[in-house]
Chains A and B, each alone.
Chain A
Amino acid sequence: MTPAFEVVDVHYAYQDAPALQGLTLTIEQGQRVALLGANGSGKSTLLQLLDGLQFADRGAVSAFGEVLSEARLQDDETAFAFRRRVGLVFQNPDVQLFCPTVFDELAFGPLQLGWSKDEILARVDATLAEFSIAPLKHRPPHRLSGGEKKRVALASVLILNPEVLLLDEPTAGLDPQSASELIDYLVKCQGSGRTVITATHDLDIVEDIADRCFVLQSGRLAAAGAASEILDDAALCRSAHIAHAHYHRHGDSVDHHHHHRHTGEASPVAGKASRGSA
């Protein structure tokens, strides 16, 4: 099967600041992938390149076997077909929610792709119900909570039912309940055939939402492998700045880290906090 994306020796820089430096990776169709890396490692830039919003300075990004180039996406038909297949959920929902109401937000994509009014109205209602956001239909984005904004942002992309879903830090700024609901949805994507690529530095969620991980460091690929392999490599996680010194795993637990003090020590370090099960 043709890979969903092939990134070959891609270089990209913001003015003089390099964001991606000779990045090469392949993402197969139907795969659930996590892009791991610290802030500034190039995850968001890579997502924008995969979504054809930015274009490589050097190297090539191919989607479904076709090279993504600015010239190619100038053609309306090609651009619409591509947008129909690939959807990106931005990290900051305020960027993504630019319409006056939730209804307009959900209708925006289908309208641009030329769907009929009846089809749009029906699809909007179905999507509102699917994401349990029907009561928010006429709400303006500034009257939504952070979790609601993220859900609307996700719904506004998934209304087009794209084959590939790109997510930029989907749990950033969410309370645990909202984050858990979002992760539940992404877990449901497993086996649906949809390619899901998530950029995150939240190791707690990686094994739930991804089968394969790419670790980026300063715009370069530092490691690639199964999620469990990457998460087991504490040294790699620390060197890539995605886990701190206390990070370690116990058996099959997702992740686990302690903030602790040793009896007798004077330093008033925080008592103990742990994530995941020991």
Chain B
Amino acid sequence: MCDCGPSYSARRRHDGAFLDRLARGLARAMDHALDADDLARRDGLLQRLDPRVKLAGLLTLIVVAVFVKSLAVLGSLFLVAVALALPSQVSLPRLAKQVWLKVFAFTVLIALPAVFLVPGTVVARLPVLLWPVTLQGLRSAAFLLGRAETAATFALLLILCTPWPHVLKALRVFRAPIVLVAILGMTHRYIFVLLESAAQMFASRRSRMVGPLSPRDRRRVATATAGVLLDKALLLSTDVQLAMAARGYRGEVRLIDDFHATPVDWLALAGFAAVASAALWLQA
């Protein structure tokens, strides 16, 4: 028996794991999207609001969170975000997993040097290295972290509590170009078709795998799949163009919405405006 490499069965398992990983990655992407879609259609506080009101209100709060200059006000805005999440069926563990931990890990890396580099009152020193930790440095880092966490929480609430097509259509309130909205909408639509197609291709490849794949072959499978998918996407785009033409499309994009703002929506808009104004007034 050759002992120059892993056994056949070990390589076979490895190849299977490689294809499994790809298939699982695609399935995870689908699951995430479908899960978010489900949440957006549940009956919750934010879900019940007109998408235009949600977009305007939450974007305003994001802007205020970015510009606010008081840590206490920033903390209050963060609490507002949490207070909006709970009645909207967005759980704290979900927020922690999807936003807080990721933003924390990323922002701390950026904010860390400021703790030592910003000159000011030294409140402590790093053990061994004896680098000074300044009050002003801690403040800068806290602002960066607080702004990032608060803004990301509001943004996630908007995405999780509003079906993506409605978010896009609501962007028209802010005069987003109609072509951009239509293209993003179609991209969102066909990502699912292509994801499904890719998942099926990997499943089919896996079902016919009777021998181990070398690293080169594994790369070949991945790139070949990407190539075939691109080809399918091109064919699909041609057919979609014909389907659009068949229903009267003449090159000019037109959109319609059936959004209906109710008194509750106007009240919610006033609420968003009141929170934003209060935050700006308090920090001033």
Whether the Cβ atoms of A117 and B256 lie closer than 8 Å is yes
Does B254 count as interface, using CB distance less than 8 angstroms? Answer: yes
Chain B: which residue is nearest A103 at the CB level?
B258
- Contacts of B193 on A, CB cut-off 8 Å? 94, 142
Interface residues of B in 245-284 (CB under 8 A from A): 245-250, 254-256, 258
Does B189 count as interface, using CB distance less than 8 angstroms? Answer: yes
Chain B: which residue is nearest A80 at the CB level?
B248
Whether the Cβ atoms of B247 and A120 lie closer than 8 Å is no
- Contacts of B242 on A, CB cut-off 8 Å? 48, 53, 90, 95
Does B188 count as interface, using CB distance less than 8 angstroms? Answer: yes
When each residue 208-251 of chain B gets 1 if its CB lies under 8 Å from chain A and 0 otherwise, what string results? 00000000000000000000000000001001101111111110
Whether the Cβ atoms of A83 and B246 lie closer than 8 Å is yes
Does A126 count as interface, using CB distance less than 8 angstroms? Answer: no
Does A29 count as interface, using CB distance less than 8 angstroms? Answer: no
When each residue 117-149 of chain A gets 1 if its CB lies under 8 Å from chain B and 0 otherwise, what string results? 100110010000000000000101111000000
Does A96 count as interface, using CB distance less than 8 angstroms? Answer: yes
Q: Which of these binds chain B: A17-25, A30-38, A106-114, A194-202?
A: A106-114
- Contacts of B96 on A, CB cut-off 8 Å? none
Instruction: Knowing A94-B193, A98-B189, A109-B247 are in contact, say whether A104-B239 is a contact too (CB < 8 A).
Output: no
Interface residues of B in 138-172 (CB under 8 A from A): 163-165, 168
> Which residue of the partner chain, among A112, A113, A138, contacts B163 with CB atoms under 8 Å?
A138
When each residue 31-52 of chain B gets 1 if its CB lies under 8 Å from chain A and 0 otherwise, what string results? 0001001000100000000000
When each residue 115-134 of chain B gets 1 if its CB lies under 8 Å from chain A and 0 otherwise, what string results? 00000000000000000000
> Which residue of the partner chain, among A90, A138, A141, A156, contacts B239 with CB atoms under 8 Å?
A90
> Which residue of the partner chain, among B236, B247, B254, contacts A157 with CB atoms under 8 Å?
B247
- Contacts of B189 on A, CB cut-off 8 Å? 97-100, 140-142
Interface size band for B: 20 to 34
Whether the Cβ atoms of A100 and B256 lie closer than 8 Å is no
When each residue 218-238 of chain A gets 1 if its CB lies under 8 Å from chain B and 0 otherwise, what string results? 000000000000000000000
Instruction: Knowing A112-B254, A138-B163 are in contact, say whether A88-B37 is a contact too (CB < 8 A).
Output: no
Whether the Cβ atoms of A96 and B255 lie closer than 8 Å is no
Q: How far is the CB of B258 from chain A (nearest CB, A)?
A: 6
Does B176 count as interface, using CB distance less than 8 angstroms? Answer: no
Does B67 count as interface, using CB distance less than 8 angstroms? Answer: no
> Which residue of the partner chain, among B168, B192, B249, B254, contacts A142 with CB atoms under 8 Å?
B192
Q: How far is it, in angstroms, between the C-alpha of A107 and the C-alpha of B163 when the chains are bound?
A: 18
Does B180 count as interface, using CB distance less than 8 angstroms? Answer: no
Whether the Cβ atoms of A101 and B250 lie closer than 8 Å is no
Q: How far is the CB of A154 from chain B (nearest CB, A)?
A: 12
Whether the Cβ atoms of A143 and B37 lie closer than 8 Å is yes
Q: How far is the CB of A92 from chain B (nearest CB, A)?
A: 7
- Contacts of A141 on B, CB cut-off 8 Å? 189
Whether the Cβ atoms of B243 and A121 lie closer than 8 Å is no
- Contacts of A42 on B, CB cut-off 8 Å? none
Does B186 count as interface, using CB distance less than 8 angstroms? Answer: yes
Does B75 count as interface, using CB distance less than 8 angstroms? Answer: no
Whether the Cβ atoms of A79 and B250 lie closer than 8 Å is yes
Whether the Cβ atoms of A121 and B254 lie closer than 8 Å is no
Q: How far is the CB of A234 from chain B (nearest CB, A)?
A: 35
Report which A residues bind B (CB closer than 8 A).
48, 51, 53, 76, 79-80, 83-84, 87-88, 90, 92, 94-101, 103-104, 107-109, 111-113, 117, 120-121, 124, 138, 140-143, 156-157, 160
> 10 nearest interchain CB pairs?
A100-B165, A112-B248, A142-B192, A109-B247, A83-B248, A95-B239, A111-B254, A100-B185, A88-B246, A96-B243
